[in-house]
Structures are given as C-alpha cells and as structure tokens.
Amino acid sequence: MSIIIRLDRMMADRKMSLNELAEKVDMSNVNLSNLKTGKMKGIRFETLNAICKVLECQPGDLFEYVED
C-alpha cells in the first residue's frame, strides 16, 4: 500500500509557492517540504485543516491511495 501526496499539484493549481503556503499555514518550509516529498510519517489534523483551508480543498485532494 502506498499513499501518494498530491500537495505539489494543489499548490500548482493555486499558483502558490512552498514559501507562501508555509507562511499562511504557520509551518516551516522544511516541514512542509518534507510533507510534500513524502518524507513525513504522519500529519496532524490541525495542520491538515490549515492546508485545506488555505488551498480551498478537501483532504482527499491532497492524498491518493495506490495499491502495490
């Protein structure tokens, strides 16, 4: 099982940079970059809520499940 993170696609659709999103969700660039590249093992609902609010999307828009 694999979870694919589509944060980069949502940011591109909204024409938003990593730095801009990090500032708006009050998260460090490094942590947001780690999330975007799939290096994080988890995400807090509070952080997910902030990202969805700023990007005006649903959590399902950010993540995709792919069976191995």
Report the pLDDT value the prediction gives residue 1, as an integer from 0 to 100. Answer: 59
pTM of the shown model = 0.90
Query: How many other CB atoms are found less than 10 A from the CB of residue 10?
Result: 20
CATH value at residue 32: 1.10.260.40
Q: What is the domain count for the chain? A: 1
Q: What is the DSSP string of 36-54?
A: HTT--S---HHHHHHHHHH
Q: What's the whole-number average pLDDT of the chain? A: 94
Report the pLDDT value the prediction gives residue 22, as an integer from 0 to 100. Answer: 97
Per the structure, the complete domain to which residue 22 belongs is given by 2-66
pLDDT confidence tier of residue 68, bands split at 50, 70 and 90: confident
15-58 pLDDT, tens digit per residue, is: 999 999 999 999 999 999 999 999 998 999 999 999 999 999 99
